[in-house]
Chain A
Amino acid sequence: MAAEATAVIENKTGIHARPASVFVQKASSFKSKIQIKAKGKTVDAKSILMIMSMGLVKGTEVTLVADGPDEAQAVQELKALIDSKFGEE
């Protein structure tokens, strides 16, 4: 069973390099396989290149899917990170 959550990118500049690297570091701290879905694409949430190349601007809705031993915690914490706007405006 996989865990899932949706979130909307709220920070002004979207997922630029800094938020992307914070996000990837967080995602990499979990054992589960984690994917991020948006704009009809699905990519590895532990890959900064894949995330950056999705061009996640403000207002984009993303779905987080985790599959593994810590899946529930993973989606919860990653969603919280997006909701916190990565500490930006």
Chain B
Amino acid sequence: MAEKMKGKGVIAGVAVGKIMLAGQNLDGYLKDYKPKKKAEEKKIAADALVAVAAKLVSTIEDLNKKDMKEQAAILEAHRMMVEDPAMSGAIDEQVDKSGSAPRAVLDAYESQAQVFEQMEDEYFRGRAVDMRDVGKRIAKYILGIKEPEIGEGKVIVAGQEIEPSVIAGLPSDKIAGVILGQGSTTSHAIIIAKTRAIPSIVGVGDAIEKIADGDPVIIDGETGEILIRPSDEERAAYDVKIKKQEELKAHYAQLRALPAVTSDGVKVVLACNIGSPADVDAAKDYGAEGVGLFRSEFVFMGKTDIPKEEDQFKEYKAAVEKCAGHLCVIRTMDIGGDKPLPYIQVGTEENPFLGYRAIRISLQRRDLFMPQLKAILRAGKFGKAGIMFPMVINVAEFKAAQAMVEEAKVELVHEGKEYGEVQLGIMVETPAAAVMTPVLAKYVDFFSIGTNDLVQYTLAVDRGNAQISYLYNHFNPAVLRLIKRTIESANKEGKWAGMCGEMASDPNAAILLMAMGIKELSMSAPSIPKVKERIRNISSAKAKEILDKVMEMEDGDEIKKYLATIG
């Protein structure tokens, strides 16, 4: 019989594989380690530095070949930390103290991590994680703890928290599933997993310590169930589930080329949310028609300097071209105090989500905003592009951003660079913007409703807070009224409204939104088929009936329950 545990399933699907522990505890290995003479231990440590650096160089080359530049840059920083001349001396000193090479490596990087942790600058404090990550990597090499080798079959990555470098170092087709001890659904690892439809479970808690490296496991990303060392019978039971999953996949594949249109001919564009141009390729397999949200943060994250216009242009151009005639909506920088960058000094804020972030920074930082606007305008020459401003709360902000776009065009003309006409829109994610959509609609080309924030701000609920997350519901009548108002405002002015929040991937919500008159739904690509199927199986008249009924209801949970019965 398998040992069972349960977490919260966040990305559906059944996966079978061997556990690869990330964020592993090395204490046991360190205890068993038999150190030799100090001089030999110093040599062992020095050799390990050379070997680990060499391995990093080859991984970095591979990543660059696959155009995974972001992940390559993280590992490049790690390589410099391994090869740093100050570390070899520090490690030798630690060998003199403890006599053990792996312990000396961990201690040396730990003390360096502490130096960084005490620094005032948030960017440097963040580097402490990388220092510990690097120390562990080298210690594991000395202790002979192997990273799972390629060709060994698929792995399920498990850890309390998974460091970005671990995901970066593994080829994505080898990761069958992800298990996280902590409960955040917005961690780096989960965001990557989502775009690739990797079954994932979070919030397992300390139970995760019971899983050992190499354990065969089955995970169900829908129910959150984890079976460790399953018996043959258990395995067989899941094989049935896996077979069903395959059949569903095949069924969805048939839907790929079909439009999302109701039985009486109302069409909705189903687009995808992406984090990098490469995601568009995967999204096409699910039948995505363009991009409704390109999170441009990835061109800003992990950089030590403001990204150059030319570098940004290459990324945006790639995404626009891959959309092949469909619209590609690029959201301008949406970063704030929660994710500080070395070139954006936000300072310490009591509440970064109500602070200096997104468009509020962009409008004040011409040096940051101009290169991005110019890069998108230039990419617009290669297809259909849209610029979307995040966090807008009033007409003035949109007008100011629009004026900057005009300035950017003038600069491009002076520089002799070509640009295309692009649509300008805003993300409707604050209650203020939603209320003001009748006015805003006169100026914008489009609205895209960002429900994740709109729900949080409207209901004053932090959905990461387990105690109150029951209040987080996109069917709350207050939220539905704001959404309806936004869509109707757009249609009245002859503009279009779409949605790029998580609600767009809920098939029940899709029916309501369609009846309200939404033109586009953008979601993580793997959700497209199930939304499309729902739309194709209903008439707009029936959807309208359902909407009318829902708008009369007084309570979000009541609406949720009602919609579940009509499926």
Contacts and interface: CB of A to CB of B under 8 A. Distances in A.
Q: Do A and B come from one complex?
A: yes
Interface of A: 13, 16-18, 21, 24, 43-44, 46-50, 52-53, 55, 88
B285 to A, nearest CB: 37
Contacts of A21: 80, 304
B381 to A, nearest CB: 29
Given A47-B85, A49-B86, A49-B112, 8 more contacts: A13-B342, A17-B304, A17-B342, A21-B304, A50-B84, A53-B119, A55-B119, A55-B124
B29 interface: no
Nearest to A14: B121
A16 B342 CA distance: 8
Contacts of B541: none
Interface string B73-90: 000010011001111000
A44 B80 contact: no
Contacts, number: 45
Contacts of B342: 13, 16-17
A58 B127 CA distance: 21
8 contacts: A21-B304, A47-B84, A47-B86, A49-B87, A53-B112, A53-B115, A53-B124, A55-B120
B116 interface: yes
Contact of B84 (A18, A48, A55): A48
Given A16-B304, A17-B304, A18-B304, A52 B86 contact: no
Contact of A52 (B87, B124, B305, B343): B124
Contacts of A13: 342-343
Nearest to B86: A47
Contacts of A47: 84-87
A53 B87 CA distance: 13
B123 interface: yes
Given A13-B342, A43-B86, A48 B80 contact: yes
A39 B86 CA distance: 19
Contacts of A49: 81, 84, 86-87, 112
B10 to A, nearest CB: 33
A74 B86 CA distance: 20
A73 to B, nearest CB: 20
A26 to B, nearest CB: 14
Contacts of B115: 53
Contacts of B119: 53, 55
A52 B84 CA distance: 12
Interface of B: 77, 80-81, 84-87, 112, 115-116, 119-121, 123-124, 127, 304-305, 342-343
Nearest to B81: A49
Contacts of A16: 123, 304, 342
Most buried by A among B116, B119, B123, B304: B304
B116 A53 contact: yes
Given A18-B305, A21-B80, A53-B112, A44 B85 contact: yes
A50 B86 contact: yes
Contacts of A52: 116, 124, 127
Nearest to A51: B86
A44 B123 CA distance: 22
A18 B77 CA distance: 11
Nearest to B87: A49
Nearest to A47: B86
Contact of B86 (A17, A44, A55, A88): A44
A33 to B, nearest CB: 10
Nearest to A24: B80
Contacts of B121: 55
Most buried by B among A13, A18, A43, A49: A49
A52 B209 CA distance: 35
A69 B124 CA distance: 35
A17 B85 CA distance: 17
Nearest to B115: A53
Nearest to B88: A47
A18 to B, nearest CB: 4
B85 A46 contact: yes
A50 B84 CA distance: 9
B229 to A, nearest CB: 42
A24 B85 CA distance: 11
Nearest to B367: A89
Nearest to A19: B304
Contacts of A48: 80-81, 84
Most buried by A among B84, B119, B123: B84
Contacts of B81: 48-49
